[in-house]
Structure 1
Amino acid sequence: MHPMVKPALRRAWRDRQYVQFGATPAHAVVVGPVDTATGSLMSLFDGTRGLPLLREEARSMGLPEGQVDTLLGRLTKAGLVDDATGGGPAADALRQRAGALDRLRPDLASLSVVHPEPGGAVARLAARGAMRVQIRGAGRVGAVVAAVLAASGVGKVEVLDGGLTEPWDVAPGGLPAEAVGERRAGAAEQLVRRSAPGRVPRAPRRPPGGPPLDEPPLSLVIVAPRDGLAAYAPDPAASGEWIATGTPHLHAGVVEATGVVGPLVLPGGSACAGCLELARAERDPAWPRMLAQWRSSHRGSTAGPCDLGLATAVAGLAAAHALAFLDGELPASTGARWEASLPLLDWRSSPVRAHRDCTCGAAGQTEGERASGAGTPQDTMAG
Structure 2
Amino acid sequence: MRPMVRPALRRAWRDLRYVQFGVAPAHAVVVGPVDATTGSLLELLDGTRDVPSLREEARRLGVPDDWLERLLNRLARAGLLEDTARGATGRAEGGAAREVVVPDRLRADAGSLSVVHRGPGEPLRRLAARGAMRVQVRGAGRVGAAVAALLSSAGVGRVDVLDGGRVRPWDVAPGGLPPESVGEGRAVAARRLVARAAPGGAGAGAHGPGRDDRAGRSGGGPEPALSLVVVAPRDGLAAYAPDPATADAWVGTGTPHLFAGVLEATGVVGPLVLPGGSACARCVDLGRVDADPAWPRLLAQWRSGRQGGAVPTGDAGLVATVAGLTAAHALAFLDGGAPASVGARWEVASPLLEWRSRRLRPHGECPCGAADQVEVRAGWEADGAERERASGVRGGQDTMAG
More helix by share: 2
For 1:121, the equivalent position in structure 2 comes to 123
1:302 paired to 2:310: yes
* Farther off after superposition, 55-64 or 118-127: 55-64
1:221 paired to 2:229: yes
Is the partner of 2:370 in helix, strand or coil? coil
**Equivalent pair of 2:137/2:230 in contact (CA under 8 Å):** yes
* Farther off after superposition, 352-361 or 302-311: 302-311
Counterpart AA for 2:334 = L
For 2:338, the equivalent position in structure 1 comes to 330
1:51 is displaced (CA, Å) by 1.6
* Farther off after superposition, 271-280 or 74-83: 74-83
Counterpart AA for 1:134 = Q
Is the partner of 2:63 in helix, strand or coil? coil
Higher RCO, 1 or 2 (CA under 8 Å, sep at least 6)? 1
**Equivalent pair of 1:132/1:220 in contact (CA under 8 Å):** yes
**Equivalent pair of 1:164/1:183 in contact (CA under 8 Å):** yes
For 2:246, the equivalent position in structure 1 comes to 238
Deviations 1:296-330 (A, max 9, x none): 22544431222221111111111000000000000
Counterpart AA for 1:4 = M
Q: TM-score, normalised by structure 2?
A: 0.87
For 1:160, the equivalent position in structure 2 comes to 162
Q: Closer, same or farther in 2 for the Cα pair 1:350/1:329, shift >3 Å?
A: same
1:3 paired to 2:3: yes
**Equivalent pair of 1:29/1:380 in contact (CA under 8 Å):** no
1:49 paired to 2:49: yes
Deviations 1:97-142 (A, max 9, x none): 5xx2x11111111111111212112211221000100000000100
1:94 is displaced (CA, Å) by 6.0
Q: Closer, same or farther in 2 for the Cα pair 1:358/1:214, shift >3 Å?
A: same
1:107 paired to 2:109: yes
Give, in whole Å, the separation in 2 of the partners of 1:215 and 1:272. 25
Deviations 1:353-373 (A, max 9, x none): 00001111111213999xxxx
Q: Closer, same or farther in 2 for the Cα pair 1:122/1:88, shift >3 Å?
A: closer
1:182 is displaced (CA, Å) by 0.2
**Equivalent pair of 2:88/2:128 in contact (CA under 8 Å):** no
* Farther off after superposition, 296-305 or 269-278: 296-305
Deviations 1:6-25 (A, max 9, x none): 01111111122211111111
1:247 paired to 2:255: yes
Counterpart AA for 1:110 = S
1:253 is displaced (CA, Å) by 0.4
1:192 paired to 2:194: yes
Q: Closer, same or farther in 2 for the Cα pair 1:201/1:157, shift >3 Å?
A: closer
Q: Where has structure 1 moved over 4 Å in runs of 4 or more?
A: 91-95, 201-204
Counting only pairs closer than 5 Å after superposition, residues 304-383 of structure 1 correspond to structure 2 as 304-366=312-374, 380-381=399-400
1:172 paired to 2:191: no
1:87 is displaced (CA, Å) by 4.8
Give, in whole Å, the separation in 2 of the partners of 1:280 and 1:145. 28
Give, in whole Å, the separation in 2 of the partners of 1:159 and 1:94. 29
Is the partner of 1:365 in helix, strand or coil? helix
Is the partner of 2:371 in helix, strand or coil? coil
Q: Closer, same or farther in 2 for the Cα pair 1:255/1:124, shift >3 Å?
A: same
1:380 is displaced (CA, Å) by 4.0
1:273 paired to 2:281: yes
Aligned residues: 368
The percent identity for this pair of structures is 64
Q: Closer, same or farther in 2 for the Cα pair 1:226/1:298, shift >3 Å?
A: farther
1:150 paired to 2:158: no
Is the partner of 1:66 in helix, strand or coil? helix
For 1:60, the equivalent position in structure 2 comes to 60
Unaligned runs of 5+ in 2: 92-96, 379-396
Is the partner of 2:303 in helix, strand or coil? helix
Give, in whole Å, the separation in 2 of the partners of 1:295 and 1:171. 26
Is the partner of 1:39 in helix, strand or coil? helix
Give, in whole Å, the separation in 1 of the partners of 2:100 and 2:214. 32
Give, in whole Å, the separation in 2 of the partners of 1:214 and 1:326. 21
Give, in whole Å, the separation in 2 of the partners of 1:213 and 1:190. 23
Counterpart AA for 1:52 = P
